[in-house]
Amino acid sequence: MNDVAEASILVVTAVEAEREAVLRGLRGDARFRVVAAGVGPAFAAAGAAFALAQGDYKLVVSAGIGGGFPGRAGIGGIVVADSIHAADLGAETADGFLGVEALGFGTARFAVDGALAERWTDAIRAAGREATRGPIATVSTATGTAATAEALRARVPGVAAEAMEGAGVAAAAVVAGAAVLEVRAVSNAVGPRDRAAWRIGEALQALEAAFVIFTEVISKR
């Protein structure tokens, strides 16, 4: 872990394997601190908030592997969020799901540093890797059916990837007054659950590569 006093960018992963992939990509860059906060939006928010209280961070990145929506992001590809959505935050009704906006309880959408997200995506593509910039959905229960995948597509138009932590990290960043990004390396297709088709190792390699590139993007800011 880098010295807290030196770091100005906080990266939050869910598990240690993701953290290690990010650290390999960063190659000891002292501008970054990387923490594994745990799985799901609650642990992500708590871990990010605790880390944010220990330093003066200007940017927070939610990072890890995740599911890609077919036609938007393929396995081994990288998705950089252009917005982050708490996609299952709301209520079930007789007429279907209602998000918190429709209920009048605030918002489930978090803005990102759009210019930086665009530069990161462009740099990944320039390095010869598949990269998509689009909405990333945060869910508490990973999608396992075609019907749920289609429901998420309807709730979050253009959604490119699904993960379980981004909105939690984003909420902590907003409270702290820091900018936020989310990046996901795709390990599986969103839809019917097929564990045998997951490519976790390939996704972790892509995540590492994304952060090698990110250090260069940040240096040019």
Q: Where are the domains of the chain?
A: 9-219
Average pLDDT, the chain: 93
Separation between Cα atoms, residue 130 and residue 205, nearest integer Å: 13
CATH class, 9-219 region: alpha beta
Q: pLDDT value at position 1?
A: 38
- Long-range contacts of residues 213-219, Cβ cutoff 8 Å, at least 24 apart: 213/120, 213/123, 213/124, 213/127, 214/25, 214/61, 214/120, 214/123, 214/183, 215/25, 215/26, 215/27, 215/29, 215/31, 216/123, 217/116, 217/119, 217/120, 217/123, 218/9, 218/31
Of 106-110, 115-119, 171-175, 212-216, the poorest mean pLDDT is in 106-110
Q: Where residue 107 falls among pLDDT bands split at 50, 70, 90?
A: confident
pLDDT in tens, 120-162: 999 999 999 999 999 999 999 999 999 999 999 999 999 999 9
pLDDT at 196 over 90: no
Are residues 189 and 67 in contact, defined by beta-carbon separation less than 8 angstroms?
A: yes
pLDDT at 171 over 50: yes
60, amino acid identity? V
pLDDT at 92 over 60: yes
Q: Spell out the residues 6+ positions from residue 196 whose beta carbon is closer than 8 angstroms to its own.
A: none
Q: Where residue 208 falls among pLDDT bands split at 50, 70, 90?
A: very high
Q: pLDDT value at position 220?
A: 76
Q: pLDDT value at position 184?
A: 98
Looking at residues 151-177, what average pLDDT do you find? Answer: 96
DSSP calls for 1-66: ---TTT--EEEEESSHHHHHHHHHHHTT-TTEEEEE--SSHHHHHHHHHHHHTTS--SEEEEEEEE
Q: pLDDT value at position 3?
A: 43
pLDDT in tens, 36-85: 999 999 999 999 999 999 999 999 999 999 999 999 999 999 999 999 99
Q: pLDDT value at position 61?
A: 98
- What tokens were used for 171? 């909420």
Percent of the chain with pLDDT over 70: 96
